[in-house]
Amino acid sequence: MVKKQRLVVIGGVAAGASAAAKAKRTNPELEVILLERGPFISYGSCGMPAFIAGMIPSADELIARSPEEFARRGVDVRTQHQVVAVDAQNKRLLVADLAGARDYSLSYDDLVIATGAEAIRPRLPGLDLDGVFVLRTLSDSLAISEALKTHRPSGVVVIGAGYVGLLMAAAFCAHDLPVTVVEMAPQVMVNLDEEMSTLVLEELRSHGVRVLLNEKVVRCEGRNRVEKVVTENGKIPADLVLLAVGVRPNTRLAQEAGVQLGAGGAAAVDKHMRTNVAGIYAAGDCAEAVLQVTGDKVYIPLGTTANKQGRVAGANVAGMDCAFEGIAGTAATKIFGLEVARTGLTEREAVAKGLSVHTSQITAKDRSGYYPGASRLDVKLVIDADSRQLLGGQLIGASGAAKRIDVLAAAIYAQMTVDDLTHFDYSYTPSAASVWDATLIAANVTSRCK
Instruction: Note the pLDDT tens digit of each residue in 383-427.
Output: 999 999 999 999 999 999 999 999 999 999 999 999 999 999 999
Q: For residue 100, what pLDDT is reported?
A: 87
Distance CA 393, CA 374 (A): 22
In CATH, the number for domain 6-42+55-117+248-317 is 3.50.50.60
In degrees to the nearest 10, what's the CA dihedral of 290, 293, 298, 300? -100
Residue 440 has pLDDT above 60, yes or no: yes
Same fold, 121-245 and 340-447: no
46 is annotated as an active-site residue: yes
With bands split at pLDDT 50, 70 and 90, how would you rate the model's confidence at 371? very high
Q: For residue 448, what pLDDT is reported?
A: 78
Phi/psi at 290 (nearest 5 deg)?
A: -100, 130
Q: For residue 2, what pLDDT is reported?
A: 59
Distance CA 242, CA 153 (A): 12
CATH superfamily of 121-245: FAD/NAD(P)-binding domain (3.50.50.60)
Distance CA 180, CA 236 (A): 8
Q: For residue 310, what pLDDT is reported?
A: 98
Q: For residue 449, what pLDDT is reported?
A: 61
Q: CA-based Rg of the chain, rounded to a whole angstrom?
A: 23
With bands split at pLDDT 50, 70 and 90, how would you rate the model's confidence at 4? confident
With bands split at pLDDT 50, 70 and 90, how would you rate the model's confidence at 450? low
Judge residue 303's burial from the number of C-beta atoms within 10 Å of its C-beta, 0-12 exposed, 13-18 middle, 19 or more buried.
middle
Per-residue burial over 223-238, b = 16 or more CB atoms within 10 Å of its CB, e = otherwise? eeebbbbbbeeeebeb
Instruction: Note the pLDDT tens digit of each residue in 28-53.
Output: 999 999 999 999 999 999 999 999 99
Instruction: Indicate the residue type of 223.
Output: R
Mean pLDDT of the 227-253 span: 97
Q: Which of 46, 173, 286, 449 is catalytic?
A: 46
CATH superfamily of 340-447: FAD/NAD-linked reductase, C-terminal dimerisation domain (3.30.390.30)
Instruction: Note the pLDDT tens digit of each residue in 135-186.
Output: 999 999 999 999 999 988 999 999 999 999 999 999 999 999 999 999 999 9
Per-residue burial over 34-48, b = 16 or more CB atoms within 10 Å of its CB, e = otherwise? bbbbbebbbbbbbbb
34 Cβ partners below 8 Å, 6+ apart?
A: 8, 9, 12, 16, 17, 20, 41, 70, 75, 76, 77, 78
Phi/psi at 348 (nearest 5 deg)?
A: -65, -40
Instruction: Note the pLDDT tens digit of each residue in 291-325.
Output: 999 999 999 999 999 999 999 999 999 999 999 99
Instruction: Note the pLDDT tens digit of each residue in 46-96.
Output: 999 999 999 999 999 999 999 999 999 999 999 999 999 999 999 999 999
Strands 92-97 and 81-87: antiparallel
Instruction: Note the pLDDT tens digit of each residue in 176-211.
Output: 999 999 999 999 999 999 999 999 999 999 999 999
Q: For residue 3, what pLDDT is reported?
A: 73
- Residue 270: which of 323, 321, 307 has the closest Cα? 323
Distance CA 363, CA 382 (A): 15
Distance CA 3, CA 107 (A): 12
- Residue 447: which of 364, 377, 390, 393 has the closest Cα? 390
Q: Return the domain boundaries, the chain.
A: 6-42+55-117+248-317, 121-245, 340-447
Instruction: Note the pLDDT tens digit of each residue in 241-281.
Output: 999 999 999 999 999 999 999 999 999 999 999 999 999 99
